[in-house]
A and B are shown apart, each in its own frame.
Chain A
């Protein structure tokens, strides 16, 4: 299938196989497509064995951090305490819209994955936290949960296994920061979505103070496929040359590109082929100027850097950026990079929870300076100030929102400095920069 475009022959549709197929949304439809067999199998297994299969598969967190999922699950021990699973469906990273399609088209895929993951970490309750703006995804997942309860798949005796698995949908209310795992837990507890200081880590004291695992929607959705088909099958879907990045990944593509949408490819797919064969390249008559490969929080790449990279955690890192959440934002040669980086900074300033000074002040100050440069009122000194603020915003706060604001500024200034300088009036630079002034005098 595929949505909004039919699947490309070079895609490897696993999670996205039924995107665009409304029949896959219903419980019967999902069962006809092999659904809930993995959960049935899982509930008869020892949770440690499930953890080991996922560990062997090499599955890594798809929310952005890329932490090995099986290892994360293995932090949860049968200690007799109440455990919780939080599924992160707060997808708000600009450029990313993959979880939205999983929830809209295959809600049972997520419910099955959430139930299986909960069982694998010795939890009886899973909360699926979905951002408030996702009205349709919320309705689809709530319907799937209700149908699963009615069919005895969830509840006190899940699928007749004698084990209790509860899944609840929790609707957010508009806050990017609630996608940060500890902010998500605060929000679920009915608090302001301020991130928490770590340690303690969620596996020790998370939701309601209990050991908690937080997984992304795409991550838990992949787990049933791995259990059913085996770790070796999952590894066979990606480039065997890199055993650190396995399986398939959903990439969301947006911005100035011929065919925006979601594409699922094996890890290690050549980025150039992805951009031109699958996504159709830039709009007709234009060229790419810049690409952000993993959601707005990762460094900006030039087309040249991007086109020689392969799409996996290590490949994109080698090119100077990060795989992140897999949101590919394309900018063509008609775009004003300064304007767009200023817009990104405004996003972070709006979304800062204002808990840490470096972030609260830094994001706002950065935005103010960038908009001044955008409007032709900047000075050469502003460029140094931006880098100085960015330095003070990196690695100094409770969460990484502050770093995320600094990243596009620093990488943008490094790679597109000429565009910033072109907006700064020469007369200003003479006045503001002493060494330039002496050059002019000489």
Chain B
């Protein structure tokens, strides 16, 4: 079930890869890089998510048509990868690494601080104002800078429970 978020779930779908759009031009350029159309699937899904905030069923249909593959196949790929949002998320999507190297440095306390200061209360649940979603994530590959936190595409290093309040306050 989709949590309530900043993106309306029932608004009519606006296509992304329309003729003449910047997204279409980017996809056309991507297609020159690979010997098969399907190889552009991950990049195409990224373009879609950047434009719409998540990968909706309508978006999947559109990508499938653009790359000559079935929507079912695209859905199979989307569900494999953790970074494609299959439902709308908060304006600020917060991912806290809690895998072992960060865990031994106190990452779970950082998670609790985020849940408290964002008003989310619970992992994976978008805050009532639609601004935040907090999740735990597996290894972000920045173990020497515990605890790393990704806020949308930005990685913040060395977050401690004490620095969370200021970090959250600094987000618009």
Residues of A within 8 A of B (CB): 4, 82, 91-97, 99-100, 131-136, 166, 168, 170-176, 187-193, 208, 252-256, 260-262, 296, 327, 329, 331-332, 335, 340, 343-344, 347, 350-351, 353
Contact = CB atoms under 8 A, between A and B. Distances in A.
Interface residues of B, number: 42
A173 B81 contact: yes
Contacts of B145: 4, 97, 260
A351 B83 CA distance: 13
B100 to A, nearest CB: 5
Contact of A192 (B33, B35, B77): B77
Contact of B35 (A92, A170, A208, A260): A208
A351 B100 CA distance: 14
B139 A92 contact: yes
B138 A255 contact: no
Interface string B94-134: 00001111011100000000000000000000000000000
28 contacts: A4-B145, A82-B35, A91-B141, A94-B100, A94-B139, A97-B142, A97-B145, A131-B141, A133-B150, A135-B154, A135-B155, A171-B46, A173-B42, A173-B45, A175-B81, A187-B42, A190-B36, A190-B40, A253-B144, A254-B105, A255-B101, A255-B146, A260-B145, A329-B100, A329-B101, A332-B104, A335-B104, A351-B138
Contacts of A344: 99-100
Given A95-B101, A255-B101, A190 B42 contact: yes
A175 B79 CA distance: 11
Contacts of A131: 141
Given A168-B33, A172-B42, A254-B146, A340 B104 contact: yes
B143 A193 contact: no
B81 A254 contact: no
Nearest to A168: B33
A190 B41 contact: yes
A329 B39 CA distance: 36
Given A175-B82, A176-B139, A351-B138, A255 B104 contact: yes
Nearest to B78: A173
A240 to B, nearest CB: 30
